[in-house]
Amino acid sequence: MTALIKRAGRADIDVLAAIHSTAFSHGDAWSRDVFNLQLAMPNVFGLIHQDGGLIVMRQAADEADVLTLAVVPAARRSGIANTLLREATDIAAGRGVQTVFLEVSTTNSAARALYTKLGFSRVGLRRLYYSDRSDALVLRLDLKSTP
Ligand SMILES: CC(C)(COP(=O)(O)OP(=O)(O)OC[C@H]1O[C@@H](n2cnc3c(N)ncnc32)[C@H](O)[C@@H]1OP(=O)(O)O)[C@@H](O)C(=O)NCCC(=O)NCCS
């Protein structure tokens, strides 16, 4: 793992919530309690990038879901999300995960471009999924075919 990334633990909860609040609107940002609850689950892990990014992933058997991914606005387009996703999928692959899923708003062009670049493909659509009533694309990445 690159020295800029570490596993997120209870001591990082304030930083995680602060990063998330810069990346998502008030109603969609995860609180400290949500991070605490998620990271306490045995099948959930988080990574934190020291320049201002985070990812949280949940494993279920040989599948995993990206629960959230965020980079602070000032640090975007410097490869942080790309690095976090690659590290998280490497960890998941090491635990036997073969397929990673996530949801992304149809309106989120930045995230959609990122996931396309990493090889995710569309497998479903959830209508009116988000609080702004936008639809969610369900994307899938087969780790054996990761570029
Ligand atoms: C989406 C997000 C996580 C991307 O983080 P980032 O660190 O800026 O992304 P990276 O620098 O790793 O970008 C990697 C690639 O993704 C694509 N990409 C990222 N942001 C983009 C943008 N705004 N427009 C177009 N393509 C973009 C590009 O292909 C980019 O490679 P390049 O910079 O060499 O062209 C960040 O914009 C963010 O936190 N957004 C708000 C929260 C969010 O939407 N989370 C995802 C929810 S599903």
Could you tell me the residue ranges of all domains in the chain? 5-145
Q: What is the structure's pLDDT at 60? A: 97
Q: How many A from CA of 77 to the centre of ligand 1?
A: 6
- Catalytic site includes residue 115: yes
Contact 95, 128 (CB under 8 A): no
Contact 93, 58 (CB under 8 A): no
Which residue out of 25, 68, 114, 122 has the highest number of ligand 1 atoms within 8 Å of its CB and is therefore the one to mutate? Answer: 114
Residues ≥6 apart with Cβ < 8 Å to 26? none
In 1-147, the DSSP E strands lie at 5-7, 44-49, 53-60, 63-71, 99-105, 121-126, 136-142
Q: Rounded to the nearest 10 degrees, how much is the dihedral formed by the CA atoms of 95, 76, 145, 62?
A: 30
Tell me the pLDDT tens digit for each residue of 45-80.
Answer: 999 999 999 999 999 999 999 999 999 999 999 999
Q: Quick one: which of 102, 73, 63 has its CA closest to 85?
A: 102
CATH topology for 5-145 is Aminopeptidase (3.40.630)
- Does ligand 1 come within 6 angstroms of the Cβ of 36? no
- Does ligand 1 come within 6 angstroms of the Cβ of 22? no
- The three-point CA angle 20-108-12 to 5° equals 15
Supply the pTM of this predicted model. 0.96
Tell me the mean pLDDT in the region 85-93. 97
Tell me the mean pLDDT in the region 16-26. 94
Tokens representing 21 are 């609040």
**How far lies 89's CA from each of 28, 57, 93, 145, in Å?**
24, 9, 6, 12
- Catalytic site includes residue 63: no
pLDDT tier at 1 (50, 70, 90 boundaries)?
A: confident
Residue nearest to atom 33 of ligand 1 (CA): 77
Q: CA 104: distance to chain centroid?
A: 10
Q: How many A from CA of 43 to the centre of ligand 1?
A: 26
Residue nearest to atom 30 of ligand 1 (CA): 114
Tell me the pLDDT tens digit for each residue of 101-121.
Answer: 999 999 999 999 999 999 999
Contact 118, 82 (CB under 8 A): yes
